[in-house]
Amino acid sequence: MRKIKLGTSDLEVPVVAVGCMRINQLQPKQAEQFVQTALELGANFFDHADIYGGGACEEIFAKAVHMNDDVREKIILQSKCGIREGRYDFSKEHILNAVDGSLKRLRTDYLDVLLLHRPDALVEPEEVAEAFDILQSTGKVKHFGVSNHKPMQIELLKKYVKQPILANQLQLSIMHANMIANGMHVNMLTDAAIDRDGSVLDYCRLHEITIQPWSPFLYGFFEGVFVGNEKFPTLNAKMDEIAARYGVTNTTIAIAWLLRHPAKMQPVIGTTNLQRLKDSLKAAEVNLTREEWYEIFLAAGYTLP
């Protein structure tokens, strides 16, 4: 599995991360097979969140991977915190308690990466800084990042937080790529020119923050999968054409399209289907040409000014 550095750190991670949001939908033997298959293919970076399955996903993963000291040294664990029922919470108390809960459920003493999950309107960055300092000094968290944050929200945190922000997990796919498309419609009076995220793509590249695209197969906000969807015949025909050229599936091409971007992204795949897992990981071996990347972009309905 091809690897990249996470942000400005020396932590080497696979270019594709395995999301565990739906692992609670599997039976114990299926979960074990899923995790072991990922490891066999070199995908040892697992993404969690304290809210996934109400915490059950972290517990199920720990059992599936047969967590012990030897196993722990071979995997990279990332989890997220900050979403609570009816609100977001970046208070010092909640961050510390959330991490302790994740560590207990994952049967480990530390997280490799902790992300703040969706911006808290009531965030007090001084409290976040205190929490991060405690987590780092106690060895409970090695590295830190955010999820679904725009540039100025990250800048606010950075004023107080001394640890580098290494990653920003953002929704991004071929059919949800405004952060890419709006950059090509500068000074145009079109909907495509609307910057909805504060130029977060360029910001992350400038500050060497790894973008982790989530829901790389979905369109809209959890509206469905675009791969193989009859709603998008032109896109799927183009993806099938290019997939045949490389001897892979269109699932592979959907991930390869993200990996082709020079931002050095790390897509987080959320499938629990073994074949789709394998197809997704194959994307690390496919390097689309500039022409193929743009052909897919245009087939998805985007335009060039």
The DSSP code sequence of 120-160 is: -TT--HHHHHHHHHHHHHTTSEEEEEEES--HHHHHHHHHH
- The pLDDT value recorded for residue 43 is 98
- pLDDT for 17 equals 98
Joined together, the tokens standing for residue 33 give 């097979």
Q: Which of 52, 203, 219, 302 is flagged as catalytic?
A: 52
Task: Return the pLDDT at 50.
Answer: 97
Quick one: pLDDT at residue 221? Answer: 77
Contacts for 113 with CB less than 8 Å, ≥ 6 apart: 6, 11, 76, 77, 78, 79, 141, 142, 143, 144, 145, 166, 167
The domain segmentation of the chain, as residue ranges, is 3-229+263-283
Q: Which helix (H) or strand (E) holds 171?
A: strand 165-171
Q: Please indicate whether residue 52 is annotated as part of the active site.
A: yes
Query: What would the CATH number be for the domain defined by 3-229+263-283?
Result: 3.20.20.100
Q: What pLDDT is recorded for position 162?
A: 98
Looking up tokens 């998805």 gives 300
pLDDT for 220: 78
Q: Give the residue ranges of the chain where pLDDT is below 50.
A: none
